[in-house]
Amino acid sequence: MTYKVSVIIPTYNSENFLDKTINSVINQTIGFENIELIIVDDFSTDSTKNIIKKYCLKHENIKTYQLSEKTGTPGASRNLAIKNSNSEYLMFLDHDDCYMKDAVEKLYNATLNSFSDVAIGKFQTFGDGKIISEDWIQEDTTLNSIGENTLFFSINNIWRMIFPREFILKNNILFPEKVFAEDLTFMVDAFLNANKIVFINDIVYNFRLRQGEITSTSLSKGIHYLNGLIEGYDHTLNVLKKNNSCKYYDTIFNQHLSTLLSDLILSETISLKEKKELLKKSSYLFKNIKNIKPFPENEENKVLMENIKNDELDEVFKSIEESRSSKKIRSLESELENKKLQIADLQTTKGWFKYKAKNIIDRLKRKV
């Protein structure tokens, strides 16, 4: 049977969230009979597989697969689901989030009526913290190419998009596997190949905001994650080369490398030696930027990124050492927690949320 939309969920140890996530698909206004739900598990060790089995026994349009080995990232799961999908359109959903009840219908109609290759909706957060509705676009928008508004590169959330399956297969758009930032690579490849991109001014997605995610994310980033980010960014660079679109390199990587640098410096879970090794490994990415301009603006990161670009790594190492010796970061993070509402008012996308938080940290540090 051919369905209108395949919804793809990669899972790993999702027992606390998965029921709500799956039911948000089952209760879609487009009618669940028009949806193929594909769940791919990455060797969960909790009751996730039993929960999936329960729903598969009830609904013939729910399919499940398990990878041949644990990968630790969603790329392989999503690729397997795309390969085994039987629908006209593809959507993605993270295992701990959920759709608005009319998400599939709105995105499906948006892409169908506009003959677009990508349709995008807004998102809001839920869970531990205030609900934040994205507001950086206030009206429906249509692009005939990504070059008409490169700000779209800052979206970074494939889970609030819909794609024609034929478009994805024709252009061989895949998620890189066993790396992080895999969704960035997929999104950039889709944007570069799309003949039309539409944005609808409707909230379609609920993103779960977990306790401490705003204030402690950078401090907890480990070597596995940061190393995986660097490798993921290399895949995005290759996608730009493949599509003869390196002109967008600065637009994309001024944003992402600024965040990588902040995460690396602030991380409390990796050693100074490991930080230096990661910095050396990623330096070629910084050197490829023609015009250093962190996005959003961050003067401290701009100086450090210029240092890396000019092979002045000793200056960056010095900054890393100073951050490690500082005993003020913990108190600054605590103060930042009290500024969540202020940050929320300025926030647009999830990615921007982290940048704004980092900017507040910088300002607070200068006050101390």
Q: Are 153 and 201 in contact (CB under 8 A)?
A: no
How many CB atoms sit inside 10 A of residue 148's CB?
A: 11
Distance between CA atoms of 28 and 17, rounded to whole angstroms? 18
- Predicted TM-score (pTM) of this structure: 0.86
pLDDT of residue 1: 73
- Asked if 236 and 360 sit in the same domain, the reply is yes
DSSP secondary structure, 263-283, as one string: HHHH-SSS-HHHHHHHHHHHH
Domain end point (choices 159, 194, 209): 209
- Asked if 164 and 226 sit in the same domain, the reply is no
**Paired tokens of 367:** 């006050």
Q: Are 234 and 155 in contact (CB under 8 A)?
A: no
Domain end point (choices 193, 209, 225): 209
- Asked if 83 and 7 sit in the same domain, the reply is yes
- Asked if 205 and 187 sit in the same domain, the reply is yes
Distance between CA atoms of 273 and 212, rounded to whole angstroms? 27
Smallest CA-to-CA distance from 233 within 273, 287, 274 is with 287
pLDDT band per the 50, 70, 90 thresholds, residue 362 = low
Number of domains in the chain: 2
> CATH number of the domain that 111 lies in?
3.90.550.10
Tens digit of each residue's pLDDT (9 = 90 or more) over 287-331: 999 999 998 788 999 999 999 999 999 999 988 887 766 644 554
- Asked if 200 and 256 sit in the same domain, the reply is no
Distance between CA atoms of 96 and 90, rounded to whole angstroms? 19
Query: Is cis: bond before 296, omega within 30 of 0?
Result: yes
Q: Are 175 and 183 in contact (CB under 8 A)?
A: yes
Q: Are 306 and 290 in contact (CB under 8 A)?
A: no
- Asked if 58 and 200 sit in the same domain, the reply is yes
Tens digit of each residue's pLDDT (9 = 90 or more) over 250-289: 999 999 999 999 999 888 899 989 999 999 999 999 999 9
- Asked if 28 and 170 sit in the same domain, the reply is yes
- Asked if 99 and 191 sit in the same domain, the reply is yes
Domain end point (choices 143, 174, 209): 209
- Asked if 157 and 269 sit in the same domain, the reply is no
Tens digit of each residue's pLDDT (9 = 90 or more) over 202-212: 999 999 886 55
Burial class for 357, CB neighbours closer than 10 Å (0-12, 13-18, 19+) = buried
Please state the separation of Cα 75 from the chain's center in Å. 12
- Asked if 89 and 225 sit in the same domain, the reply is no
- Asked if 108 and 197 sit in the same domain, the reply is yes
**Paired tokens of 174:** 């895949």
- Asked if 286 and 306 sit in the same domain, the reply is yes
Q: Which domain holds residue 118?
A: 3-209
